[in-house]
Amino acid sequence: KEIEKGSIILLLSCPIYRDTILNGKILGGVLTITLAISTSITASTGVIMAVIGIMPTIDEAIRLIIYLIASVIYISMYMAISVYTSIATKNTSMSLLISIIVWLTFTQLIYSASSAISALIPEILSETRLKVLTAIRMLTPDQHYYNFSMNILNEKMALEPFGIFLRGAAPGRSLTIIESLAISWPNLAIITSILTAFIAASYIKFLREEVRC
C-alpha cells in the first residue's frame, strides 16, 4: 500500500533500516491474528464450559494451546503470501485479487479437482482412486492443517500425516499428546515451511527493491 501511494519514499527517508518496515507489518499481522484466534478459542471454551459445566483437563488445555499455535501459523501463512504479492505487484487491488485466487485454489479448487479426477478412475481400481484423491489433496496446506488439527484435538482417532481417513487408537486407550504430535508434526512442518519461504521471499524482494520518486 505504501509503495502504491508513494508514502514509502517518505518513510524510507527516516533513519530506519528497510527491514524494520517489513518487521512491523509482519509482527503486527501475527499479533492481530494471535489476538483474534485466542479470543475466539477462549470465548468458545467459556461458552462450552458454561453450557456443559465440565472443566477441560490439563491434557485438553495443552491440546488447545497447540491448536492455537498451529492456527496462528496457518493463517500467518496466508498473510505471508499476501505480503509477498503486495511487494511483488506494488498494487493493492492486484495483490488482493491474487491472494483471493490463492486462497480459493487451496480451499476449493484443489478439492474439487481431486474429486473430479479420482472419479475418472474405474471403481474396480478403488485403491488407485483413493491414492490419487489423497495425493492431490495433500498438495494444499489446508489438508495438512486439517490433519494436524484432527490429530491434536481428537485423542481417540488419528489421521496419517499424508492420509485423509481416520484410524482409531488401540482399544481401551487414548493417544497421548506426544503420540499425536509424533504422527502429525510433518503437517505442521510443511505449513511452517511455506510461511518461512514467503516471509524470506518478501524480505529479499523488498530489500532489493529500488524505490523511485
pLDDT category of residue 131 using cuts at 50, 70 and 90: confident
Instruction: Judge whether 144 lies within some domain.
Output: yes
This prediction has a pTM of 0.82
**Domain total of the chain:** 1
Residue 118's pLDDT is 84
Whether 1 has a pLDDT exceeding 80, the answer reads no
The type of residue at 73 is I
Instruction: Judge whether 178 lies within some domain.
Output: yes
Whether 2 has a pLDDT exceeding 60, the answer reads no
What is d(CA 19, CA 12) in angstroms, rounded to the nearest whole number? Answer: 10
Percent of all residues in the chain with a pLDDT value above 90, rounded to a whole number: 34
Residues 96-112 pLDDT 10s: 899 899 999 998 999 89
Instruction: Judge whether 137 lies within some domain.
Output: yes
Instruction: Judge whether 203 lies within some domain.
Output: yes
Range of the domain at 89: 2-208
Whether 57 has a pLDDT exceeding 80, the answer reads yes
Instruction: Judge whether 74 lies within some domain.
Output: yes
Whether 165 has a pLDDT exceeding 90, the answer reads no
**Of 105, 166, 92, nearest in space to 137 by CA:** 105
Instruction: Judge whether 213 lies within some domain.
Output: no
Instruction: Judge whether 200 lies within some domain.
Output: yes
State the Cα angle at 88 between 86 and 89, rounded to 5°.
70
Residue 92's pLDDT is 78
Whether 177 has a pLDDT exceeding 80, the answer reads yes
Please give the mean pLDDT across all residues of the chain. Answer: 83
> Angle at which helices 177-208 and 18-52 pack, to 10 degrees?
150
What is d(CA 73, CA 152) in angstroms, rounded to the nearest whole number? Answer: 15
Q: Sign of torsion, CA 167 171 173 178? A: negative
Residue 17's pLDDT is 65
